[in-house]
Amino acid sequence: MKQVNTIGGQDLREMFAAAAGWLEKSSSEIDALNVFPVPDGDTGTNMLLTMRSTIEEAYRAPDNSAAAVAQAMAKGALMGARGNSGVILSQILRGLAQSLAEKETFTAVELASALQQSAAMAYNGLSNPVEGTMLTVIKDVAAAAQAQVAGDGDDLIPVMEAVVDAASESVANTPNLLRVLREAGVVDAGGQGLYTILEGALRYLRGEMEQMRFRKPQIIVGDIHATKLPEMIAADEIPYGYCTEFLLKGEKIDTGKIKKKLEKKGESLIVVGDEAAVRIHIHTLDPGEVLAYTADLGTMHQVSIRNMDEQHQDYLEMQREKAPAVDTGIIVVVAGDGLTEVFTSLGASAVVPGGQTMNPSTKDLLQAVERVASDKIIMLPNNKNIVAAANQVQSLTEKTIEVVPTKTIPQGVAALLAFDYEANLETNTQLMQKAAAAVRSIEITRAVRATRLGGLEIKKKQPIGFLEGDLVAVGNSTTDVLDQVLARLDLEKAEVITVYCGADAETDEAEQVSGSIREKYPQLQIEVIQGGQPHYDYIVSVE
């Protein structure tokens, strides 16, 4: 059996050249995995173009040492990086080059160390790293390499085999970490691309170049099947703006200063490079403002600006065409990122932003109905002021609409949990109504004015508590008010208390509230979720 104990620069270059060829065979299939609501180019194509630039520069290395070739590869990747995935790939290669500096050849132990540096560099390059992406894959790969060399680490081939196996498992697991992948039933495209590159490198080390000519890389399939991708639906949709990326060349460029300056100019910011060349990637509504700032810092090259709103419309059309037939769709009304996550993870087909002080119109609800693929719809208004508007939708569409008149968030969650995918519309409506009626809802907010109501003297901004929509408590702290409301309930038969923390709830106070409940009711299961809802410091469900 072939054994490889060290790798020099020439083998390193040929290994990645083989990996680029292997990636090219499946780049279009990797492109097809791009299912994010905000498209950012084509992942497979972007990674392939980045790899081509990497290899071109590798052949210009001043000598055949591992250090020189790795440094050239890192430069080529930075200069040729395309898209988010390409920039992250360039960071991975940059970490590899840093770790192999001044090395003529490298061993299995040194490869494992280099992969650790690659993972660290990839994470450091992003302002907001997201798990379930190629970042997770490189982290898992580095851990697997480290574990392999800790056992029997002389031969590089078993280490690379452990690396490729770990990459495969990590890619297959990405839908469990990222909701949008789980709902679309695909794995992360960037992770798939990285797995393909690593597998191509392994095949080169094994001496399988001839076999690679007649085979194709495997596209990894997760265990989760596709469901309808939930959409955030609003009358005035927020624009996605422009995917803006370019290479900035100059002298003494301060990447930290650039990153700090651009953080508030858009999303998905990546600033990577050195004092002489920096690759910048950002999603922004005003690319001109970004370019105007960086123009004073050096010269810009390879400038690419793509309209993501047009890409998004194409994406929605694609989603509608390939969306699986769902017998019954569920539309919910909810405000707050955390609560949106809760409802979509439980299977909501669409979310209409709204709630207290932000009631969606009948038109907003109708638009949601028409955009959901199903002909049968169950609506959960989750607020007493939205039920009437929801009831009017039936007369405006040919679809069959049932409104389960949930008046609180806890009722909506309970109703959605009761949904049975194998039951018909009528049965589900009954099941969900029964479940909603069984949960008790508490809402803690603050008085907007001083008043006297129901025998309670209330001062402006004082915490007040509602039970099933009725004002029942006032106090000097939210903890005190919540205790008063809970004391009104018979908790002997209760099992779970779920606390949804609002957008303005202080972290320390939230911990104090949950701790107080646990101390007073040790027999109950207490769950705390960052709901992010406006106006209400806490929404509490008692089941």
pLDDT digits (tens, 9 = 90+) for 230-272: 444 443 444 567 888 888 999 989 988 998 888 888 877 888 8
Q: For position 357, what pLDDT does the model report?
A: 60
Fold topology of 7-229: 1.25.40
Report the distance separating Cα 400 and Cα 402, nearest Å: 7
Closest CA to 489 of 453, 542, 532: 542
Q: For position 94, what pLDDT does the model report?
A: 94
Place of tokens 């208390």: 497
**What b-and-e string marks burial along 281-313, b requiring 16 or more CB atoms within 10 Å of the CB?**
bbbbeebeebbeebeebbeeeeeeebebeebbe
Strand partners, 470: 467
State the CATH class of domain 325-438: alpha beta
Domain with CATH 1.25.40.340 in the chain: 7-229
Measured over the CA atoms of residue 343, residue 344, residue 346 and residue 348, the dihedral's sign is: positive
Tokens of 476: 């000097």
Report the distance separating Cα 437 and Cα 266, nearest Å: 43
Domain with CATH 3.30.70.260 in the chain: 242-312
Tokens of 38: 């905000």
State the CATH class of domain 242-312: alpha beta
Backbone angles phi, psi at 472, to 5 degrees: -130, -10
Strand partners, 525: 496
CA distances from 153 to 95, 147, 327, 471, 516 (A): 21, 9, 54, 68, 52
Report the distance separating Cα 429 and Cα 407, nearest Å: 15
What element of type H or E holds 530?
Answer: strand 525-530
Report how many helices (DSSP H) and strands (DSSP E) the chain contains, helices first.
21, 19
Q: For position 497, what pLDDT does the model report?
A: 87
Tokens of 519: 């101390």
Q: For position 314, what pLDDT does the model report?
A: 57
CB atoms inside a 10 Å sphere around CB 337? 14
Tokens of 14: 């040929």
416: helix, strand or coil? helix
143: helix, strand or coil? helix
| Residue ranges for the chain with pLDDT beneath 50 | 35-41, 225-238, 319, 322-325
CA distances from 208 to 4, 202, 212, 286, 498 (A): 14, 9, 6, 49, 56
Q: Quick one: DSSP state of residue 396?
A: G
Q: For position 79, what pLDDT does the model report?
A: 87
What element of type H or E holds 191?
Answer: helix 189-205
Spatial neighbors of 317 by CB under 8 A, at least 6 apart, are: none
Domain with CATH 3.30.1180 in the chain: 440-542
Strand partners, 473: 465
CB atoms inside a 10 Å sphere around CB 233? 20
Q: For position 326, what pLDDT does the model report?
A: 55
Task: Confirm if 183 and 37 have CB atoms less than 8 A apart.
Answer: no
Strand partners, 300: 248
Q: For position 332, what pLDDT does the model report?
A: 93
Domain with CATH 3.40.50.510 in the chain: 325-438
- The second-level CATH assignment, the architecture, of 440-542 is 2-Layer Sandwich (3.30)
* Centroid of chain to Cα 352: 20
One-letter amino acid at 394 equals Q
